[in-house]
Amino acid sequence: MLGTGILKGMAVTAKNFVGSYHDSEHPLTTSEYPEQRIAPKENARQFPFLVHDTEDAMKGLRCVACQICEKECPPQCIYIVKSKDKRADYKGQMQLYPVTFDIDLSVCMSCQICVEVCPFEAIKMDTEFELSNTDRFGGLLVNKHQLAKPNEHYRKIHPTEAAVSDASLAVEVAKAQAKAKADVEAKAKAAAEAKAKAEAAAAAGPIGTAPTAPAPKPTAPAAASAAPPAA
Amino acid sequence: MDAPANRTVQSVGQGREGELLEVAMGPQHPSTHGVFRMDVVLDGETVVKLKPVFGYLHRNHEKIAENTSYLGSMPYTDRLDYFCSLSNNWAYALSVEKLAGLQVPERAEYIRLITAELTRVLNHTCLVGFLLQDMGALGTPLMYAFREREKILDLIESLTGARMMCNYMRFGGCRCDLPAGWLDEAKKVVAEYPRFLDEFDKLLSGNEILMARTQGVGKLSAELAISAGITGPMLRASGVDYDLRKVDNYGIYSRYPFRVPLGDHGDVYDRYMIRMLEMRESLKLLEPALNDIPDGPVVDPKAKLRGFRPKPGEAYGRIESPKGELGFHLISDGSPNPYRYRVRPPSLINLTILEDMCLGQTIADAVITLGSVDIVLGEVDR
């Protein structure tokens, strides 16, 4: 019969309308935004931030101004100026740091490529999405003071990712410490060996048949082996 | 004020019967799905000539890609057909993998199939909503479609971090593994989806007004469709059995049985029904894939993120995107940037046939014919 299809369709809309009030299977799908907020997903990404480890944000930035992100950024929205001097990073290695680190918010397309290419776990994506600004030019150019956020923030917004990142950094630190310790031990061992040999040579001096001539010899290789770790 | 006594009311068209009227529909017309213009020559209400004009959204995609690294083009492919960014990612990744000879791990192949089929469902859901909107069913069908689309978008967001601009696939796999609990969520959405399709069918497919409005409108014959290079649901609605998932067997499509729905008449109603049926087939593919997905790495360990330089050569990778054959033709000269980068966009090529489908029909039919082509201007203009 003509019109049955239409009536069936009307029944569906009626069911949906009434259901939005009473039926738990057809609940309202919208939420009243500024009052009700849906928590962002863990993987959500909006705009990058720079991770810092210490209390003083500028001193603890992990960024070493290697400029890889600047080069790889598809819309070219990152601007970095390297420092002239070096400072110790989180594992005590001397590194450059960014004097200027700007990201143009109006150009950034939230693609996360800067995060992926960064070898230092220094830049990560924030989940903050209310980024509007009344200043059209200066307000949209975000500098390093505004970009810096502590590692705790990263742990809070991306717990799974941050755990992986922290673990890999801990491995790096452990490696660096182990290397430093090994260096110190090698140095100590070399020094001890040199001392022992010198003492042995000195002790052998009065008793042995050829006392004075070979005595300086053992000290020279010992000094050479101690030299590279010190450098 | 009294009108002068000798003045009579004249209709504007008096004495001008038989003259043709040229109308520029768009680029701001709401039914042209973006910034697209149809220069239509009308005889009364009948279309005599129709010239599609595009390029208003041209963003220089191909030339930008030639000046950026291979990886740097990946987020730009999201912005071609912004409803199906994951399919676009796959097509681009596929052609680069051909170029560089990378192998995709098993788990990544499953993730690709799952995300691509979710995208197909997503795209077709939107399309039927928009098509009905074009026909004058204002609000309700589109609202229902978007309600369901939201569920898939939530899945995609929790996987890739963005709802539409996913930037998820990488050369030799995918960017990250599935988050914990994602598969269960996806299974739930896939299991509940047929209920929406049934509801939508009940709401509209048998609706007499819809049938009267769409059957016999915007007909496209199989011969014309083939000779014009039409692909995707448009071609299948005209009764040509051609689906790259079956023809090329890319990915792991050969492992799962699925049917390719075909139309008889090639009119707007067939194109609408094809999409409804394809969604059901996609869900049939998704169910076993979500259950069978193996553990393992999601990216080829040989794949390099930085300093990626494929050997000189040429490759064309194509997939069956929800709109048709989406292909990327790349020529490498061994440098970090492609020497030539060319996109074969399905919606642009499907659009070229618009005049032939609209001639002799009314202007209102031209609107729904355009709606049934399923264009996204981001891809047409690039």
pLDDT in tens, B289-324: 998 888 888 888 777 777 788 889 899 989 999 998
| pLDDT of res. B7 | 54
Residue with tokens 């049939």, as numbered in its chain: B284
Is A88 in a helix, a strand, or coil? strand
Output b/e per residue, B59-79; b: 16+ Cβ within 10 A.
Answer: eebbebbbebbbbbbbbbbbb
| pLDDT of res. B15 | 66
A122-137 per-position pLDDT tens digit: 898 988 888 888 888 8
Cβ contacts of B204 within 8 Å, gap of 6 or more:
A9, B132, B137, B141, B210
Alpha-carbon distance of B343 to B320, in angstroms, equals 14
**Cross-chain CB nearest to A113 (options B72, B144, B158):** B72
- Neighbouring CB atoms inside 10 A of B211's CB total 14
**Interchain CB distance below 8 Å, B179 and A160:** yes
Conformation bin of residue B214: beta by default, left when phi > 0, alpha when psi is -120 to 50:
alpha
Positions of chain B with pLDDT lower than 50, given as ranges: 1
ipTM score above 0.90: no
Domain membership flag for residue B113: yes
Residue with tokens 């064309």, as numbered in its chain: B316
| pLDDT of res. B4 | 53
**Interchain CB distance below 8 Å, B140 and A13:** yes
Residue with tokens 């962002």, as numbered in its chain: A40
| pLDDT of res. A227 | 44
- Indicate the residue type of B5: A
| HSE (side-chain half, CA atoms, 13 Å) at A154 | 24
Give the gap in angstroms from C-alpha A130 to the nearest C-alpha of chain B. Answer: 15
CB B343 within 8 A of CB B61: yes
Residue A218 has pLDDT above 60, yes or no: no
Q: Radius of gyration over alpha carbons of chain A, in Å? A: 32
* Nearest partner of A123 among A176, A64, A174, judged by Cα: A64
Domain membership flag for residue B5: no
CB A108 within 8 A of CB A27: no
Residue A98: φ, ψ to 5°: -80, 125
Cβ contacts of A223 within 8 Å, gap of 6 or more:
A194
Higher pLDDT, A145 or A23: A145
User: If you measure CA to CA, which chain B residue comes closest to A119?
Assistant: B306
- Work out the average pLDDT over A142-156: 86
CB A62 within 8 A of CB A51: yes
* Nearest partner of B31 among B364, B308, B359, judged by Cα: B364
Domain membership flag for residue B49: no
DSSP state of A24: T
| Cβ contacts of A107 on chain B, cutoff 8 Å | none
B69-121 per-position pLDDT tens digit: 888 888 999 888 888 899 999 999 999 988 888 888 889 999 999 999 999 99
| pLDDT of res. B296 | 83
Domain membership flag for residue B3: no
**Which residues of B touch chain A, with CB atoms under 8 Å apart?**
68-69, 71-76, 140, 144, 147, 150, 154, 157-162, 165, 167, 175-176, 179-180, 199, 202-211, 305-306
Instruction: List residues bridging with B331 in a β-sheet.
Output: B314, B340
User: If you measure CA to CA, which chain B residue comes closest to A9?
Assistant: B203
Domain membership flag for residue B11: no
Give the gap in angstroms from C-alpha A190 to the nearest C-alpha of chain B. Answer: 41
| Cβ contacts of B203 on chain A, cutoff 8 Å | 8-9, 12-13
| pLDDT of res. B92 | 92
B344: Cα separation from own chain's centroid: 13
Domain membership flag for residue B332: yes
Domain membership flag for residue B18: no
In chain B, which ranges are continuous DSSP H helix?
61-66, 74-78, 85-100, 106-135, 140-160, 182-200, 208-214, 222-227, 233-237, 244-247, 268-292, 346-351, 354-358, 363-373, 377-381
Domain membership flag for residue B342: yes
**Interchain CB distance below 8 Å, B176 and A43:** yes
The encoded tokens of residue B206 equal: 């048998």
**Interchain CB distance below 8 Å, B144 and A16:** yes
CB A41 within 8 A of CB A77: no
pTM equals 0.82
**Interchain CB distance below 8 Å, B161 and A44:** yes
| pLDDT of res. B120 | 92
**Which residues of A touch chain B, with CB atoms under 8 Å apart?**
2-6, 8-9, 11-13, 16, 29, 41-45, 68, 72-74, 109-113, 116-117, 125, 160
A111, A128, A165, best to mutate vs chain B, most B CBs in 10 Å: A111
* Nearest partner of B105 among B177, B160, B15, judged by Cα: B177
Is B200 in a helix, a strand, or coil? helix
Q: Which domain holds residue B74?
A: 61-381
Instruction: List residues bridging with B101 in a β-sheet.
Output: none
Number of domains in chain B: 1
B336: Cα separation from own chain's centroid: 30
A86-104 per-position pLDDT tens digit: 887 777 778 888 888 899 9
User: CATH no. for residue B175?
Assistant: 1.10.645.10
| pLDDT of res. B121 | 92
Residue A220 has pLDDT above 50, yes or no: no
| pLDDT of res. A98 | 86
